[in-house]
Amino acid sequence: MNGFFVTIKNSGICWTARKDYSGYIEIFSQPPAGLPSTGAGRHSHPIYTIPETGERLIIKQYRRGGLISHLNKKTFLDKNRAFNEMKLSQYALEKSVPTAQIVAAGYKAIIPGIYHLHIVSKMIENARPLPEFLCDLNANDLNSAKEAAQAVTEAILRLHNAGILHCDLNANNILIGSSSKNKLSAYIIDLDKSSVNNELPFNRRIKNLQRLDRSMKKLKDAGKLNMRVEMPCFSELYAKYEP
């Protein structure tokens, strides 16, 4: 991995970046005003389009979620966390896990031992979060719902077969898009803090899927997942792959 990456410091941020993207470090460090963004709220990040190729990159600063975010929104103790996510994403891609490719990761010391973290990834084109996809389905789109559920299950199976246990497997960390054959594809993103294991016993895999099922239920209960079709339980779909 080291042969393809360079280390650069810009605007106080220590970056590790792919060589072919190192010329954009200044933009990664200080995204120009007026860039489009990925969405709203905590999940909104600037999108930069490379003029020469049209490739779009998501420039993200790590932010906390959950209750702790009320006290601490974007400072972290582990300066290598973004770099570790980049390494894990590269490993996942090498194992044919559908995920986003990360091209740069960096940290900026605020005070000794306290850091802001940054990461830049290639945008997965024509893909959107699983809840958004499901909410747009009509009542007669049952086949699309089943196809999406199968794509998600197979993507997670690849993830697990690579030994990766996603620490935050929830509906918003799964994107649904179309493949070159016009079939639905699923992508698993935000591998931050996920672990690589030599073996993943089937009971641990099922517990990981049950986490995803709980996130779906939580969205429904909060009125944020108003589906017109019923989705099968992911852990039950996955159980069919038990050896």
Query: pTM for this one?
Result: 0.91
pLDDT tens by residue, 19-61: 999 999 999 999 999 999 987 555 689 999 999 999 999 999 9
Closest Cα to residue 222, out of 230, 214, 231?
214
For domain 127-239, give the CATH number.
1.10.510.10
pLDDT of residue 243: 76
pLDDT tens by residue, 163-176: 999 999 999 999 99
* Mean predicted lDDT score pLDDT of the chain: 91
Both tokens assigned to 193: 């803090």
Distances (CA, A) of 179 to 99, 125, 182, 186: 13, 10, 5, 9
**Between 83 and 73, residue with greater pLDDT:** 83
pLDDT tens by residue, 112-168: 999 999 999 999 999 999 999 999 888 778 889 899 999 999 999 999 999 999 999
pLDDT of residue 147: 93
Q: What is the CA radius of gyration of the chain?
A: 18
pLDDT of residue 47: 97
- Helices 202-221 and 142-161 sit at what angle, rounded to 10 degrees? 140
Both tokens assigned to 108: 């900026």
Eight-class DSSP state of 229: S
Total residue length of the chain: 243
Domain ranges of the chain: 2-122, 127-239
Band (5; pLDDT cuts 50, 70, 90): very high
